[in-house]
C-alpha cells in the first residue's frame, strides 16, 4: 500500500469514527431521555414520510407511531406496569416493531423471542424473562402448540388470528386510542433501565436473555449510520429476523434515526433478493454471512449488478465468500462488524478490508476498551503469568477478546442477563492486568495484525454456529439423551464444504438399537431446525479426558468421512427429513456441493 493510500485509509477511519461519536455523544446511563422519547421526536419530524414498506404496503412514520400507541394503551388496559415483561413471538412484520416501540412508551420491557423456537427452548425463553403476558403471531400456531397450556401465569394474546386458549389482540387493539399515552408512565425510568431482552445462546445451556437498556438500544440503533454513509433518502433493506439485534435494532435504527425508509421482508429469499434490491431501489442492506453464501451459490441473476447499492453491513462473512461477493456483485462498501448483543466489545471494518471484522490503530488504542489476551486452549480460559495476571497478545497472535467494563460508558457497560446472576458472572474476568480491574469475556478468539485490523478466528467452548445461529452443544446433548435408548451424547460442530459455520454432529452411546425414523421425528420436534444434528456417529464407548470431560477436538478433526471412520454414521437427509446411513457416495456428493443443507 502506497503513502497516498495509507493517508486516505487513516482519514477515512478518523472521519467515520468522529461522525459515529457524534451520533452517540448525547447518550448517558443517567439520562432521562429514553428510546421512545427519541423515536417520538423522529416520528414527528418525518410524519408523512414512508417509514416501512412491507409486502406492498407502506407505513408512514405517523402511522407507525399511531400503531405503537395502540399497543401502549392496550398494555395499560390489561394492567401491565412499568418494569413488567411481555414476550413477543412473531415473524417479521411492521406490527413487531410497533409492538415493542409502543410497549416501551409505558415502561414495559419486551422479550424478543426467536420465532424458530418450540417446546422446552420456547418455554424457557418466556419463563426466564418472567413474562406477564405473551403476544403470539398466528403464523406461528404450530410452534406455539408445543407449549400451549404450559404457561398458566402468563396472559396469552394472539395477533393475526385467534389461537386456542388465547385472547384476541387485534380486537383489543381496535378498542384503544392511537393518541400518545402520557409520559408519566415512564418518567421514573433512566436510560440505564431495561428496554428489551434479546436472546443469545451464550456458550452453554439454554438461551440467555441479554438486557438491553434504553441507552444501549439507542447506541446500537445508531452505530452504523456513519460507516454505511446513510441519510434520509436511503432505502434500507432488511431480510434478517428482527428478533436479533443486527436486523431488529441496527438495521431498523439505521433507517429510523435518519428518517430513511425500511424495506422489511418476512424472511430472506436468495431468489427474490436482487428483484427486491433493484425494483425497490434499495441503497443499503443488512446481512449475515450465511446470506451471502446463498447469494454467491445461486445462479447469476440478471439484476445482480443493476443495483443502486452504496453499502451493506453485517457480520459472519467468511473471507472466501466475501471475495467472491465483491467481485460478482460490485457492492461499493461491505462493512463487516464484530460484537455481541450483550457484550461491551464492538468494532467495525469501515474501509472494507477483506476478511477483517474491525480495526483499532495503535495511535487510538487508549480510546478503546478492547484487548486480546493469551489463551490456555487446554483449559479454555485466559492464561495467567507467574504474577497471576493475563498477558496481551502480540501481532497476529490468537487470543480471547475481552472488554474493560465501565458502568459510566454506554459502550463499555455490561448489563448482564435477565434473572441469571450466575450466567452474568461467568462472563466476568477479574484482576486481569492489575488488582481490582474488571473485564467482559467475549468467548471469542481473534487476532490483530500490525495495522490494527482484527480477524475472527473461532468461538470458545461449547457453542458452534450453524444457519447463522449459535447452537449450544449442552442443550442439544440434553435433548438427545432424553430419547429412549440413548445413554450419552457428545455434541460438536464439523466443517462442511460450501457452508458457513459448522454442522452439528454427535457421538451417540446407545444401549439398544435405535429407531432412526422415531429419532428423526423427535429431534425435529424438540429442537429448532438450526440445532438439529446433521450427523450422528455411533460408538461403543465415549472417549473422555482425565477429568471426565468429553474429547471433542479429535472428533472435530476427524469429521464425518465414512471411508476413514469405522463407526456407523447417519446423516439427516434434507429431502426426507430422516436420518439415513452415510455412504461414500453421499459423502462425495456433500463434498462436491451436490447435496446442500
Q: Any idea which architecture 463-592 has in CATH?
A: 2-Layer Sandwich (3.30)
Per-residue pLDDT reduced to its tens digit, 315-342: 988 887 898 899 999 999 999 999 988 9
What is the three-class DSSP state of 240? coil
- pLDDT of residue 487 exceeding 90, the answer is no
Q: Is the pLDDT of residue 569 over 90?
A: yes
Residue boundaries of the structural domains of the chain: 31-44+60-219, 369-459, 463-592
Supply the DSSP string of 377-429, one letter for each residue: TTTTEE---TTS---B--TT--EEEEEE--TTSGGG----BTT-HHHHHTTEE
Which grid coordinates are listed for 23?
A: 451520533
Q: Grid coordinates standing for 321?
A: 465468500
260: helix, strand or coil: coil
Which grid cell sits at 123?
418455554
> 205: pLDDT confidence band, cut at 50, 70 and 90?
low
Do domains 31-44+60-219 and 369-459 share one topology? The answer is: no
* The domain defined by 31-44+60-219 carries CATH number 3.40.50.2300: no
Quickly state the pLDDT bin for 548 (edges 50, 70, 90).
low
DSSP state of 438: E
Q: Could you tell me if 583 and 561 are in contact, meaning their C-beta atoms sit under 8 angstroms apart?
A: no
**What's the pLDDT tens digit per position in 446-486?**
999 999 999 988 778 777 888 888 787 878 988 998 899 99
Checking if the pLDDT of 396 tops 80, the result is yes
Phi, psi dihedrals of residue 47, rounded to the nearest 5°: -40, -50
Q: Select from 180, 164, 156, 166 the least CA-distant residue to 76.
A: 180
H or E stretch covering 102: helix 94-104
Q: For 369-459, give the CATH class.
A: mainly beta
pTM for the model stands at 0.85
Confidence of residue 7 (pLDDT cuts 50, 70, 90): confident
Alpha-carbon span 35 to 42, nearest angstrom: 11
Contact between residue 259 and residue 41 where contact means Cβ atoms under 8 Å apart: no
Q: How far is CA 37 from the centre of its chain?
A: 26
The backbone region for 576, taken as left when phi is positive above 0, alpha when psi lies in -120 to 50, beta otherwise, is alpha
Q: What is the pLDDT of residue 568?
A: 95
**Percent of the chain clearing pLDDT 90 (strictly above):** 80
What are the CA-CA distances from residue 108 to residues 192, 221, 307 (Å)?
14, 19, 41
User: CA dist 143 to 108, 149, 191, 399, 538, Å?
Assistant: 25, 13, 35, 40, 30
Q: pLDDT tens for residues 244-270?
A: 999 999 999 999 999 999 999 999 999
**Phi, psi torsion values for 165, nearest 5 degrees:** 60, 30
Summarize the confidence of residues 356-367 as an average pLDDT.
94
Place of cell 432412526: 516
Amino acid at each position: 500500500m502506497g503513502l497516498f493510500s495509507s493517508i486516505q485509509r487513516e482519514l477515512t477511519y478518523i472521519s467515520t469514527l468522529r461522525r459515529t461519536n457524534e451520533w452517540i455523544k448525547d447518550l448517558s446511563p443517567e439520562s432521562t431521555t429514553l428510546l421512545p422519547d427519541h423515536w417520538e421526536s423522529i416520528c414527528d419530524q418525518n410524519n408523512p414520510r414512508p417509514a416501512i414498506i412491507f409486502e406492498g404496503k407502506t407505513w408512514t412514520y405517523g402511522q407507525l407511531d399511531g400503531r405503537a400507541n395502540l399497543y401502549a394503551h392496550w398494555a395499560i388496559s390489561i394492567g401491565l406496569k412499568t418494569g413488567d415483561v411481555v414476550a413477543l413471538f412473531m415473524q417479521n412484520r411492521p406490527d413487531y416493531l410497533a409492538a415493542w416501540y409502543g410497549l416501551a412508551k409505558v415502561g414495559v420491557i419486551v422479550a424478543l423471542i426467536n420465532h424458530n423456537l418450540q417446546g422446552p427452548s420456547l418455554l424457557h425463553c418466556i419463563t426466564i424473562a418472567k413474562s406477564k403476558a405473551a403476544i403470539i403471531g398466528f403464523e406461528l400456531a404450530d410452534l406455539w402448540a408445543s407449549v400451549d397450556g404450559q404457561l398458566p401465569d402468563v396472559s396469552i394474546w394472539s395477533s393475526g388470528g385467534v389461537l386456542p386458549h388465547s385472547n384476541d389482540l387485534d380486537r383489543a387493539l381496535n378498542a384503544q386510542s392511537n393518541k400518545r399515552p402520557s409520559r408519566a408512565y415512564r418518567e421514573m425510568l433512566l436510560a440505564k433501565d431495561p428496554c428489551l431482552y434479546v436472546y443469545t445462546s451464550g456458550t452453554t445451556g439454554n438461551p440467555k436473555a441479554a438486557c438491553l437498556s434504553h441507552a444501549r438500544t439507542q447506541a446500537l440503533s445508531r452505530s452504523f449510520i456513519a460507516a454505511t454513509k446513510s441519510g434520509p433518502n436511503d432505502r434500507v433493506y432488511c431480510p434478517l429476523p428482527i428478533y436479533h439485534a443486527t436486523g431488529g435494532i441496527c438495521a431498523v435504527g439505521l433507517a429510523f434515526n435518519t428518517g430513511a425508509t425500511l424495506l422489511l421482508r418476512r424472511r430472506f429469499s436468495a431468489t427474490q433478493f436482487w428483484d427486491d434490491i433493484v425494483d425497490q431501489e434499495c441503497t443499503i442492506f443488512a446481512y449475515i454471512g450465511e446470506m451471502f453464501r446463498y447469494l454467491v451459490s445461486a445462479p447469476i441473476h440478471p439484476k445482480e449488478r443493476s443495483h443502486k447499492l452504496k453499502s451493506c453491513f453485517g457480520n459472519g462473512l467468511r473471507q472466501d465468500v466475501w471475495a467472491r461477493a465483491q467481485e460478482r456483485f460490485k457492492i461499493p462498501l461491505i462493512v463487516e462488524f464484530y460484537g455481541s448483543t450483550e457484550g461491551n466489545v464492538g468494532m467495525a471494518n469501515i474501509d472494507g478490508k477483506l476478511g477483517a471484522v474491525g480495526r483499532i490503530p495503535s495511535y487510538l488504542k487508549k480510546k478503546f476498551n478492547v484487548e486480546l489476551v493469551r489463551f490456555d486452549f487446554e483449559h479454555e480460559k485466559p492464561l495467567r503469568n507467574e504474577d497471576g495476571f493475563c498477558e496481551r497478545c502480540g501481532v497476529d497472535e490468537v487470543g480471547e477478546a475481552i472488554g474493560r467494563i465501565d458502568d459510566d460508558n454506554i459502550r463499555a457497560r455490561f448489563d448482564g442477563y435477565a434473572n441469571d446472576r450466575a450466567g452474568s458472572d461467568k462472563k466476568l474476568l477479574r484482576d486481569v492486568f492489575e488488582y481490582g480491574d474488571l473485564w467482559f469475556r467475549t468467548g471469542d478468539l481473534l487476532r490483530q495484525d500490525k495495522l490494527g485490523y482484527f480477524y475472527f478466528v473461532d468461538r470458545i467452548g461449547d457453542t458452534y454456529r450453524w444457519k447463522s445461529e449459535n447452537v449450544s452443544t449442552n442443550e442439544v446433548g440434553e435433548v438427545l439423551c432424553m430419547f429412549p435408548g440413548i445413554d450419552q451424547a457428545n455434541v460438536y460442530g464439523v466443517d462442511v464444504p460450501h457452508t458457513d459455520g459448522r454442522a452439528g454432529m454427535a457421538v451417540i452411546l446407545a444401549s439398544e438399537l435405535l429407531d432412526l425414523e422415531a429419532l428423526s421425528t423427535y429431534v425435529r420436534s424438540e429442537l429448532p431446525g438450526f440445532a438439529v444434528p446433521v450427523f450422528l456417529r455411533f460408538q461403543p464407548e465415549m472417549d473422555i479426558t482425565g477429568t471426565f470431560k468429553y474429547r471433542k477436538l479429535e472428533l472435530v478433526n476427524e469429521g464425518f468421512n465414512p471411508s476413514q471412520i469405522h463407526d456407523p454414521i447417519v446423516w439427516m437427509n434434507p429431502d426426507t427429513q430422516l436420518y439415513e446411513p452415510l455412504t461414500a457416495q453421499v459423502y462425495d456428493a456433500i463434498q462436491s456441493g451436490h447435496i446442500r443443507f
